[in-house]
Amino acid sequence: MNAYLKRVLAAGVVLGALGGAPALAKDLVMGRSTPQTVLDPHFTVQPTGNAMATDLYDGLVFFGEDLQLYPALATSWEPIDELTWEIKLRPNVRFHNGAKFTAKDIEYSLKRAGSMPNSPSPVTPQVAAVDEVEVVDDLTVRIKTKVPTPLLMNQIGEVFITSSEFGDVDTADFNSGKAAVGTGPYRLVSWIPGEAAELEANPEWWGGQPEFENVTVKFIADSSARVAALLSKQVDVIDAVPSEDVDFLRGQSGVEIHSSPSVRLLFLYLDLVNDNSPFVTDHEGRPLDINPLKDVRVRKALSKLIDREAITDHVFARLATPAGQVAVEGQGGYSKSLVPDQYDPDAAKVLLAEAGYPDGFGLTLHCATDRDVNTADAIQAMAQMIARGGIRINAVDCRPYSVYSAEATKGEYSAFMWGRSDKRPDTSLNLRNGYMTYDIDAGVGAWNRGRYSNREFDNLVQLALQEFDTEKRYDLLRQATEILIGEDMAILPVYFLNATWATRDGFTFDANKKVETSAQHVHAK
């Protein structure tokens, strides 16, 4: 028997009273789709490691609903030269165990986040720019960067701050609860990996008294089970409401739906590099030695064949929004001129004929079954539309993400659906990692799976990455996106998923585009 569970149990807290009496006025039971598998906030960037962290810990900054930065543990930050940022910290903040929060904790946490061994998804990229952390006094730190880094706060702002007093701790110490001590609005009471967690209010939180005395978070991965749990009053709030059940839930008395467009974009990658792309054929299914997808007219025709409204209406019950670019409104780099392509099969036909494919060609579409909701349904609907536009659909092949992601990243598909969330204040990192020319040495374009390459676009993004002036940076990013989508249609943006929650009588939820299901977003009515 492992030690940490014993300790959890020794504390005498085992989850109970699920189906029983209704929750007390100041208690909250949440049903969450993502299980918490580690409590160490520096182990992984996956939601399995940090979804609950927003309640337990604070970061230097807080990303608001408009995706911009707001003070959290840092009250102000400014560059003093190209390579140095000075950060002022919030006074009189205490950790859950009473220890005083100081600059040392910042130094400690940034260092720890950059050096987690054995993580398949390390937090390293968030602190990669940091060269040195200098503690000036208790409430001031200076951070030296390796290269000019205007986006430093966007990156290190995502690192959760833990207490330096625990020194050299490993994940087991967090899991046991010993080191899982933050400054956040709720304290950890108990946690059963992947099953449930109990939290209690931290009345001394700098942001004010939290609303609920006790919070229970139950991890319910299956969406129907989650809905059933809400209906049978075992939980008060659920996240990731399946779109199939939204209309039904709306009709239930006492149940409320809370929804907001999110930053999760689903788009179609197209193979822009191979001449004999693996899943492109001619219109009779025979191999083709030229790749029509490399022709921008073909890509634009494909985009016009997709009836995005029909997909968002019929596959997602309007819980998705047609997409015409990679940024959401309000995010730096958003372009007003890029609107989702309208369904226009006639124009598509003309474009295809111009490109030399009046009879179309053949294509296999790929997607992952277990990543984003209803992707398989959406891609089948897209296949219907593309097929009616005269392009032969050889197959729609959806595979588990474990298989799919490896093959897609290796470039083994020709046209495939992908989801990407960008909840940063601006799109610079998204554009750098996702769309700049794939270049191992420069470390850019690492996830550019379609292998889009345009020097002009690269230069604009590169300039933006060096630009300290926010307005100018946003403008550069906007221009870059207009090339990426408007001129080149490097990917086909299809829809932004909505994030959706449902609450029972007596509770309400702040729907947010960052798709956070923390207790802070729940309010009693």
Partner 1 sequence: MLIWLLRRLLQAALVLLAMTALVFIGVNVIGNPVDIMISPDADQEVRQQAISALGFDKPLWEQYLIFLKNALNGDIGNSYVFNQPALDVIMQRLPATLELAVAALILSVLIGIPLGLIAGLYPEIAVSRVIMTVSILGFSLPSFWVGLMLIMLFSVMLGWLPSIGQGETVEVLGMRWSFLTWDGLKHMFLPALNLSLYKISMVLRLTRAGTSETLHTEYIKFARAKGLSPVRIVGVHVLKNIMIPVVTVVGLGFGGTIAYAVVTETVFAWPGTGKLIIDSINVLDRPVIVAYLMMIVTIFVVINLLVDLSYTLLDPRVRLGDRG
Partner 2 sequence: MTTQSSVTRPVPSKRLSVPIDEREPSLLRLFFLDFIRSKTAVVGLIVITSIIVAVVLAPVIAPQDPYDLSQLNILDGRLPPGSVGVDGNYYLLGTDGQGRDMLSGILFGLQTSLLVGVGSAFVAAIIGSILGLLAAYFGGIVETLVMRFVDLQLSFPTILTGLMILAVMGKGIVNVILALIIVEWAIYARTARASALAERRREYIEAAETLALPKWRIVLRHLLPNCIPALIVIATIQIAHAIAFEATLSFLGLGVPITEPSLGLLVANGYRYMLSGDYWISFLPGLALLITIVSINLVGDHLRDILNPKNKR
Interface residues with partner 2 (CB under 8 A)? 223-224, 227-228, 242, 244-245, 247-249, 307, 310-311, 314-315, 369-370, 376-377, 380-381, 383-385, 387-388, 393, 395-400, 402-403
How far is 502 from 240, CA to CA, in rounded Å?
A: 8
3-class secondary structure, 294: helix
Shortest distance in whole angstroms from residue 384 CB to partner 2: 5
What does the block give as tokens for 296?
A: 């921008």
Among 118, 168, 208, 284, binds partner 1 (CB under 8 A): 118
Shortest distance in whole angstroms from residue 281 CB to partner 2: 16
3-class secondary structure, 497: strand
Q: Which stretch binds partner 1 (CB under 8 A): 14-22, 138-146, 317-325, 457-465?
A: 14-22
Interacting positions 119-138 with partner 1 (CB under 8 A):
119-126, 128
Q: Pick the closer one to partner 1 by CB: 1 or 80.
A: 1
Q: Which amino acid is at 80?
A: I
Residue from 399, 364, 391, 389 nearest 268 by CA: 364
380, interface contact from partner 1, partner 2, none, CB < 5-8 Å by kind: partner 2
20 binds partner 1 (CB under 8 A): yes
Shortest distance in whole angstroms from residue 234 CB to partner 1: 6
Q: Pick the closer one to partner 1 by CB: 80 or 440.
A: 440
254 and 504 in contact (C-beta within 8 Å)? Answer: yes
Q: Pick the closer one to partner 1 by CB: 15 or 288.
A: 15
Strand 130-137, strand 69-71: pairing = unpaired
Shortest distance in whole angstroms from residue 256 CB to partner 1: 18
43, interface contact from partner 1, partner 2, none, CB < 5-8 Å by kind: partner 1
Interacting positions 26-85 with partner 1 (CB under 8 A):
31, 35, 37-38, 40, 43-46, 48
182 binds partner 1 (CB under 8 A): no
How far is 445 from 422, CA to CA, in rounded Å?
A: 15
Residue from 307, 314, 269, 271 nearest 291 by CA: 271
194, interface contact from partner 1, partner 2, none, CB < 5-8 Å by kind: partner 1
CA 222 to chain centre: 20
Q: Which stretch binds partner 1 (CB under 8 A): 113-121, 289-297, 338-346, 347-355?
A: 113-121
422 and 265 in contact (C-beta within 8 Å)? Answer: yes
Residue from 224, 80, 195 nearest 148 by CA: 80
Strand partners, 281: 287, 362
Sign of CA dihedral 142, 145, 149, 155: negative
Q: Pick the closer one to partner 1 by CB: 234 or 498.
A: 234
Interacting positions 417-446 with partner 1 (CB under 8 A):
420-421, 429, 433-434, 440, 443-444, 446
What does the block give as tokens for 374?
A: 């209803």
3-class secondary structure, 367: strand
How far is 321 from 159, CA to CA, in rounded Å?
A: 30
Residue from 377, 374, 352 nearest 363 by CA: 352
What does the block give as tokens for 354?
A: 């111009």
Shortest distance in whole angstroms from residue 229 CB to partner 2: 12
468, interface contact from partner 1, partner 2, none, CB < 5-8 Å by kind: none
Shortest distance in whole angstroms from residue 45 CB to partner 1: 4
Q: Exposure string (b/e) for 89-106, b if CB count within 10 Å is 16 or more?
A: bbeebebbeeeebbbbbb
Shortest distance in whole angstroms from residue 386 CB to partner 1: 27
Residue from 421, 411, 37 nearest 193 by CA: 37
Strand 415-421, strand 362-368: pairing = parallel
How far is 360 from 55, CA to CA, in rounded Å?
A: 53
Shortest distance in whole angstroms from residue 330 CB to partner 1: 20
Q: Pick the closer one to partner 2 by CB: 101 or 316.
A: 316
418, interface contact from partner 1, partner 2, none, CB < 5-8 Å by kind: none
512 binds partner 1 (CB under 8 A): no
Helices (H) and strands (E) in the chain, counts: 17, 20
Shortest distance in whole angstroms from residue 500 CB to partner 2: 14
248 binds partner 1 (CB under 8 A): no
193 binds partner 1 (CB under 8 A): yes
207, interface contact from partner 2, partner 1, none, CB < 5-8 Å by kind: none
524, interface contact from partner 2, partner 1, none, CB < 5-8 Å by kind: none
What does the block give as tokens for 369?
A: 């079954």
Among 221, 339, 395, 524, binds partner 1 (CB under 8 A): 221
Q: Which amino acid is at 321?
A: T
